[in-house]
Amino acid sequence: MFGIESHSWLTRVDLLVTALAVAACVTTGEIDSQERANDGGASGDPAPRTSDAGKAGGRPIGTGGMGNHPPGPGSDAATEVGGASGQGGQAGDTGSGGNNAAGAGGAGGATVCLNSDGAGGRDPYGIISSVLGFDSIEYPDNDHSPPFRHIRGDTDSEVGNHFVFFMHRDIDKDPVTNAVDRQRCEIKVFYTSSSALRGVEGSTFTYTWRFKINPEMTVSGDFTHFFQLKSEGGDDSAPIVTITGEDVSGSDHLELRHSASSTGSADTLDQTSWSAVRGIWLEVEVHATFADSGSLSMKVKKPDGSVILSTSKTKIDLWRAGTYIRPKWGIYRGLTDKKNLRAQEETVRFANFAITRGATPSSDCKTP
């Protein structure tokens, strides 16, 4: 009736593959629902900071996309993990086009790169998904009518191709829970990411990247996170490490923070003036050994190489009895002090994400 009998044996194989793919999607959806439940979408507030214990330190950090998923691996916008421009590279292959030093399925020690194609290049959502995995993007696109793309590609003379993350104070929500007291646009290592990107107990990881905060962007008495290290499972309500902008006792700062637990207070490891960090490309380097008695080294540098934020800690608690630790980058901020945030569109630019299992990266992921 449908003409199947007249198709070649290749068509029958295609139909079988399609059926298997549908079944896999159902399974993935079930796992995804559990992962979101574990990620603290409505599990209460994380701990206040030690330096300002009377002030809320943020809201629970959820994941998932609530239907706002980027194109799946089988769609035109997505590329194969480790490949470029849909060339079909297998997991672990060296990527072409300067985007991947090693595919996300590569062996431990190889640096995995995530770079934008710039304005007019490949779809940023597809690029991100090809490296970090399906559903690794949290974005409030559908809070706008028509939907607004919150991560785009751009190019400048200083770093070249990069991603631009957008945020709108009076429109965007949390894409996980639709909560109106916080908003986010973030990318993350997720359960769909290669195991080589997930920080298991006892492992050491190095993360490097560059970011540029809009010169006019403001912060408030609530948190604005640009980077998080967060547990998946275990005590996973609050992040373990953050780079955060916040108004502290009437003075705006960019801070490095650490929290040993979701119920204890968070320590400010270092801070600098907010005015000193806006409108310039900042370069970040993080070394972390994930253990109950772990180690942490962080540096944030200006373009001239001067260090404006740093910390080096041993015997620091970087494990929350979960499954793995994962990085998150983007804009995630609370709205309980909304009046001190600008109503205008905000942007933060990111470039040259590099993730290395180990202490010695094989690449800085900077493109010519």
pLDDT of residue 36: 42
What does the DSSP 8-state code read for residue 95? P
In a domain, 32, yes or no: no
In a domain, 2, yes or no: no
* Average pLDDT, consecutive stretches of 10 residues, N- to C-terminus, the chain (368 residues): 35 37 38 39 39 32 34 32 32 35 50 97 98 97 97 97 98 90 97 97 98 97 97 96 94 97 92 97 98 98 98 98 98 96 98 97 91
In a domain, 8, yes or no: no
In a domain, 109, yes or no: yes
What does the DSSP 8-state code read for residue 136? -
Q: How many domains does the chain have?
A: 1
Range of the domain at 133: 39-357
pLDDT of residue 368: 67
Q: For 26-37, b where at least 16 C-beta lie within 10 A, e where not — what string?
A: eeeeeebeebbe
In a domain, 25, yes or no: no
Instruction: Give which of 203, 214, 211 is closest to 227, Cα–Cα.
Output: 211
Question: 199 - beta bridge partners?
Answer: 325
In angstroms, rounded to a whole number, what is the distance separating the alpha carbons of residues 76 and 83?
13
Radius of gyration for the chain, computed over Cα atoms and rounded to the nearest angstrom: 20
User: What CATH number does residue 182 fall under?
Assistant: 2.60.120.200
In a domain, 6, yes or no: no
In a domain, 27, yes or no: no
In a domain, 5, yes or no: no
